[in-house]
Amino acid sequence: MPPMVIDLRRAEDARDVVHRAVQALAEGQSVAFPTETDYVVAVAARHAAAAERLRAASMVPADEPPLTLALKSADEVLDWAPAMTSVGRRMARRCWPGPVAMILPDDHAESLVHRLPAASRAALVANGRLRVRVPGHPMVSDCMRMLAGPVVLAETAGEGRAPAVTAGDVLERAEPGLALVIDDGRARYAQPVSTVELVGSSFRMVRPGVVSEETMRRLASLMVLFVCTGNTCRSPMAEAIFRRMAAERLGCELDEVDGRGVVVASAGLAAWGGGPASPAAVEAAGELRGDLSAHESQPLTEALVRQADVILTMTAAHRDTILSQFPDAAGRVAMLDPGRRDVIDPIGGPLETYRRCAAQIAGHLAARMDTLSREFPG
């Protein structure tokens, strides 16, 4: 019997489509879903026979995990890869949901992989590695929220075969057990998902796709964000001094730091956009070999908070304000001073006050530098 095809664009209620798909998955059948890159075929991981059937149809290279574990959000990845590297966590937070799949070491006894049926584990793990993805199409995530247990996917692209980017492509390649195809037209990108593998403290591009290797390098960068009030004195000095310290650790010039995988920025809780650093801050930072000549102030935004890996504030009040607005950032926000003392505010004071402030900032950064530099990409 050919699979049922449901045109999502013509469905009166998308919830009915979700219920049909969830029922099919719960019964051990295969369902073809649209994603932002292509169409994928999914089964429920708790159905070992279904996972084994899908594994047999996999087109990925033999040395890779046959199937992909689909996650509802980036937050779930640590349940499956508790020892995920800092680079992997950065890419997960910035890329997911989205057109990127990651191959991770399956090297942790507490991974939920070990709770799956043996056949499902064999379909997901190859050579001690696991591939995971958070598809960006809402139909996939809506179904996963209603289904008990994880979902595994077969990518439709493979050796010598282009991805299925329409429901018609899926039907032409229909595998045994495919019960339902959800048609949402041509996939948005109509390109393969970008696949990377975490290797040590870095990564390698396994298969190119929507996201280029150059973009992935930027997404894997460590972003350190300094925050004060107006972004004209304290946080710009911290940014400039830290960039100089990072360049010394990396053995590069100041303008090469970003290209070496460390992005440094600053912002203010009450900043106007585009203002220069105060002249005294420029001079005080310059005496410590920090360059603020091109600084332009910017307000702290949700996007900056989301992208930053480390957010260092000048005062406790700054930290509390950020956490009240962005509680999900709690694990990434700290005061610059490891001893949790406020950095003095030099605004309106003489140059000597700025010099004391810059020296205080430099001392706090020196105390944190060993820890921060361990997060530099390898």
Of 218, 345, 355, 356, the catalytic one is 345
Place of tokens 């329409």: 166
Q: Is 328 a catalytic residue?
A: no
Q: What is the DSSP string of 47-101?
A: -HHHHHHHHHT--S-TTS-SSEEE-SSGGGHHHH-TT--HHHHHHHHHH-SSSEE
Q: What is the DSSP string of 131-183?
A: EEE----HHHHHHHHHSSS-EEEEES-BTTBPPP-SHHHHHHTPPTTEEEEEE
Q: Is 252 a catalytic residue?
A: no
Query: For residue 288, what are its two tokens?
Result: 């410590």
Which ranges constitute the DSSP H helices of the chain? Answer: 14-26, 48-56, 77-80, 86-95, 118-124, 138-146, 167-172, 213-219, 234-250, 279-287, 302-307, 316-325, 351-373
Q: Is 234 a catalytic residue?
A: yes
324, 330 in Cβ contact below 8 A? no
141, 14 in Cβ contact below 8 A? no
Of 20, 46, 90, 234, the catalytic one is 234
197, 206 in Cβ contact below 8 A? yes
- Enclosing H/E stretch for 334: strand 333-335
CA angle 9, 11, 17 (to 5 degrees): 105
Give the distance from CA 332 to its chain's centroid: 14
- Backbone torsions φ then ψ of 256, nearest 5 degrees: -105, -5
Of 95, 143, 228, 357, the catalytic one is 228
Catalytic positions: 228, 234, 345
